[in-house]
A and B are shown apart, each in its own frame.
Chain A
Amino acid sequence: MKAYLTRRYRFSASHRLHCHSMSEDENRSVYGKCNNPHGHGHNYFLEVTVAGPVDPKTGMVCNLADLDGFVNNKIVQRYDRENLNTLAEFSTAVPTTENLCIEVYNILDSGFHYAKVEKVRMEETMLNSFEYAGGREVRR
């Protein structure tokens, strides 16, 4: 029986939305306040959904300790209390929450092997959130 398990994590980081191939005026017009040269920050909430058959011996899709260990080591520690613009993955890509979502999905998809990574959902603020399922339709 296939089930979907979702775990919620949090981290805080700063960023500035600025695209190098746009003019200063264009950047200001596209990103507005988010283009402030000094940056700003968010408390991000990250939801990781893994899916798979429930192991009859453990009753689990995957061991939560393995998922927590991976996400805390590879994602939360990487991004918490950082300026996203200073990180290699955002040297050219703009650190929007869309791009952050895709980055986090890819870290999980390539490195977490105890269950299939179904979806990543990220809340940038209480008013907006983003979801990425590796290009697949998001299951509702």
Chain B
Amino acid sequence: MVYLTRKAEFSAAHYYHNPEFSAEENQRIFGKCSNLNGHGHNYTLEVTVKGEVDARSGFVVDLKELKDVMHREVIDAMDHRFLNKEIAEFRDRIPTTENIAISIWNRLKPKLRVAQIHRVRLYETPDLFVDYYGEA
């Protein structure tokens, strides 16, 4: 089994706010991130797939296909977007790094036929990242 990781970058705006919480609770729990005008990050996405090396091509996965799927399903959708307002799954779910990583997994999983997705790692900043392995 060989693991292959491909990186991509996108920049997006978001804010953290739960309408079930009071204004004070939102401020206490989410701090600066609760500013409803939003703020943004340069996200770095790492997608790791795994599989056996094909005897003829020497590939775990056709990198072009992986790249195309990542761009079509994630980067084209999220890059230079306001996640809370423009991405369907974040209309009623807070776009934390955790939830964005899960959303990216859910977008990629059904589209990646050639290799098995192993991990989605999403950096919000160089000092903060989330890993999701599709665990319930």
Contact = CB atoms under 8 A, between A and B. Distances in A.
Interface of A: 1-9, 49, 54, 57-61, 63-65, 139-140
A129 B91 CA distance: 40
Contact of B131 (A4, A57, A59, A64): A4
9 contacts: A1-B102, A3-B101, A4-B132, A6-B131, A8-B128, A54-B98, A54-B99, A57-B18, A139-B131
B112 interface: no
Given A1-B136, A2-B136, A65-B31, A60 B129 contact: no
B20 interface: yes
Nearest to B131: A4
B126 A3 contact: no
Contact of A58 (B94, B129, B130): B94
Top 5 nearest A-B pairs (CB, nearest first) are A59-B96, A59-B94, A2-B135, A8-B127, A4-B131
Interface in B78-135: 93-99, 101-102, 119, 126-133, 135
Contacts, number: 64
Interface residues of B, number: 28
A8 B126 CA distance: 8
Interface string B1-24: 001000000000000101011000
Contacts of B63: none
A63 B29 contact: yes
A58 B99 CA distance: 10
A45 to B, nearest CB: 9
Given A1-B136, A2-B135, A2-B136, A59 B98 contact: yes
Contact of B20 (A8, A54, A57, A60): A57
A59 B99 contact: yes
B93 A6 contact: no
Given A58-B18, A58-B94, A65-B31, A5 B130 contact: yes
Contact of B127 (A7, A60, A63): A7
